[in-house]
Chain A
Amino acid sequence: MIKFEFTYWILVFIPAAFGSVWLILRFLDRRKRTIALLRAMIYLVLIFLLLQPVLVRIEKKLKKTPLAVLVDVSKSMDLKFSFHKYSRVKNLLKGPLDKLSGSHELSFYAFSSGISRVTKEELLKLDNPKGEFTDIGGVLNLAKEEIAGKASSNGGAILLITDGNHNAGPEPVEFAKSLGLPVSVIGIGDLKTGFDIELKNVLSSEIAFRNIKSTFTGVINGFNAQGRLVRVVLKKEGAEIEAKTAVLGKAGTETLVSFEYLPKETGLLKFELSIVPQNGEINKQNNRREFFVRVLKEKVRLLYISGSPNYEYRFLRQVLNNNPNYEVVTFIILRGLGDVLPFPESEYTLIPFPVYEIFTKEIFNYDVLIMENFSYRSYLPPELLKSINDFVEKAGGAFVMLGGPEAFGSGGYKNTAVENILPVELYDAGEEQFIKEPFRVKPAKHPINMLSEVKGENEEIWAQLPELKGFNRFMKAKPGAVVLGTHPVLKGSDGNYLPVTAVWQKGKGRVLAMAANNTWRWSMWLAGTGKGSYSYGRYWQQLFNWLISAPDVKQIIVAPERPVCRQGEEIKILVTVLDEFYQYEESAAVALSVIDPNGKTQTFNNLIYSGNGVYELLLPAELAGRYIFNASVEKGSKLLGLASNFATVNAATSEDYDIFQNEKLLKELAAASSGAYCDSGNIGDFVLKLKSSQIESISQTKAPVYDSPLFFVVIIVFLAIEWYLRRISGLL
């Protein structure tokens, strides 16, 4: 068939050609007519060539259907009940599936948690599959990228050969639906007979808080086990904690058994939930599951007592509220004892200050006590202040006293129990000066004062902070106190610059004394420089972190990226190093010793620095159990610090005991993608169905006609005859 591929302007030449011929025939004599006709012929040939004729050939033929055969090589395929699963696969590859090669273009893939292209021979050579997981959802997703695009244009399909014991990655049925290709499935493994009880899942949060109840719920599936009484046992680190009994529901329904546990210690705890196996149960290995819960310290509770409404409270409350681990309870003295209320008491929202309850009992329910510009004198006798000492020294609480005309010596704390725990020495009430002249705090070099990890930036930020207005004049810092900030000019009785902010450890607890209560000015002024008030929040956060001994204030932190890994994976261990002033340390020598579950120690000195003070190591988790990491960090000959942590490597997956075939899932997969399912024991009809899906392909080829030399020769011949006729007619 000839087709013309041309631009349409060529068509204007055709009427012009026919018009010329008509004029020649109408008005010229015979010889001239002949010459003109020859010229018209040349003209027509040229038009024909300009139309770009091509010769089109169409061929029809039958084509093999592409078929991607995905073979499950996970560990559960190496299990045997009445037959060895993978041996059944090999028999299929050699027998019925081999017959498909005539009608299908077969490509083979092995899958477990990933997928790789293999040859049929490689699959046949394999005897004991060892894949750690079966991730059918993930594999179908990968298959979609790798083979679906190619196959769908040719009407291909996927053939999945698996036991269907999907135990990792996304749910596969949704992926099968979105694949756009039929997924046919050959189910490998015995179908369940007899009865079985399976602990399908344990619902628990990965994080729990100390002294707050956590709930663990076991999800139990029964097969032919309706009405059976089962005993479910919860163990922590191998020791039984509690056992419960439950009656299983009818097939297809899940039975839930919940346990409540009150963690008393922090750290990563290993739990096990198991169902006591019963006689005649066909699979006893699916009766237990291990899980891990990281128990954190409960929320930090802060009690804030403010002697008057003021901005320092509002701004500090914002900082504290921004930390989800903090819970703040406040009392503000909104009305002084001498203030007169002009309206009835019911018109106010004021509540009595439960001072006795707080200082005799409630105080011990908190982690931090903040007293800001608060004098006890109008509210409680000095003897009750002893409880603040006990709160700090014995109970390990943190105490913060912030300045103001009603704080420290001016608040009457000289010669009281509170003075004993303060890191500064006070003047008597009548002697203490409350100095209103503005001053700029001179910060000491200390991690708490570090407002940036970037070297040099910290000094810049402190220089930008505005002056404070008003502070209590202390006598001096006590021996053992750490002075964080001083007055730039005034000196104490010991000749050193007057302390403005000082901290220390007192007994089990920690104490902060800050002579001013207008650091809110830092927030406003920093914002006024256009750089935001982040540093203000950070300063207070660091102070509180130090007071409550939060882990964030450690110089060296070693931690696995994930606390729980699976055997065969790599554990990424991160060692974060800050120098003594809490700035990123880029040139530290990090030695990481790893004790594996067998007790063997290996030391690594080749950790890779990945920025922001973090050094990394990738460690293959070859053994199941607990890996302990001990990091030792030095700079030059100076030891920066030591840190320890651990990761748990989990070995047990359902690959070890999934002896049956998950027929239900495989049928759903096939139905979702308009494919077909068959059990490996009944393969005959199934192969016939696959065979019938051969397709007819149509191919079309094009050969250009216009570049043939024949047309050139024809034009030359016509021109030669036309020239000859003109010559003999004397028309040259």
Chain B
Amino acid sequence: MQLPASVHSPPPTSSRLLHRVRQYWWGYVFVSPWILLYLVFGLYPLVLSFFLTFFNYSFVTPGDRTFVGLGNWIRGIEDPLFWKSLYNIILNQAVFILLKNGLGLLLAALLFRVTIGARIFRTIYFLPVITSTVVLMTVGDNLAGPGGAVQLWLMDIGVLSKPVFWKAYDTLPMIIIAIINTWKWFGISTVILLAGMYGIDPRLFEAAAVDGASGLQIFRNITIPMLRPQLFFLLVVDVINGLQMFGEILSIGFNVYGGIKNQALTPVLYLYAQAFDQANVGYASTLGLMLAVIIAVLTFLQFKFVPSRLD
């Protein structure tokens, strides 16, 4: 069926478009720095990273680049060290995300109750967030190490009988790094969740209190469900950032392989080692893509299955 042309809204004629381009051309000038930088340092590397995965390539001898097809992908899928690094980071993040957001939620709930001093506490809790990873890991390494303050206390109260050289253990490093990182980042969760709590309609709390609900019931049935958007945001960002952990491991004193038994190897650290210690640039690029795919899938699953909105 043919409709008369006039039924459609008139498409912007090319002369009108041209007129607006001419009128507002400064807009293009103002955003052009970002566009140029993104073309060169964003899109081009992105394309290059796909390209590199099909080659054996090293910085030292860029001349003998050899085409290996899907060889790097197969190697990655069969590489036990990659899977070890993935296991490590998932263990680390499971502990970290639970502790950090649990602690953040607890402290936000407590801060929500008090009127005097809330700002001072918030200011203090945020201190580690603004301090650099290298500094905090240097301090954390010293505090948690054998002979460090934390171990001395644990021996004083009888929890430990002798100093623990935790870096040499299989799973302890990732757990202890998760605890140190909890200390660094819980302030973010506290601030975000506290802002969320202030955003809840106070009449909800009042009505529940009138109905005789206990503090814990109110927290479970009103506060938590109302904080879903904030909790979801924290989870998504934590997974994306956390799986890419890198600096922490070097800063706390492990080598680029995460120790002799690779007990602290993370995926990004592993690809760093492949590129800069073994000069396998193509393979390192493939590992980066593999991790990005895993992150994308996990993010997608969260959007699909984790409740993110208010009912």
Same complex for A and B? Answer no
Q: Residues of B at under 8 Å CB distance from A?
A: none
Q: Residues of A at under 8 Å CB distance from B?
A: none
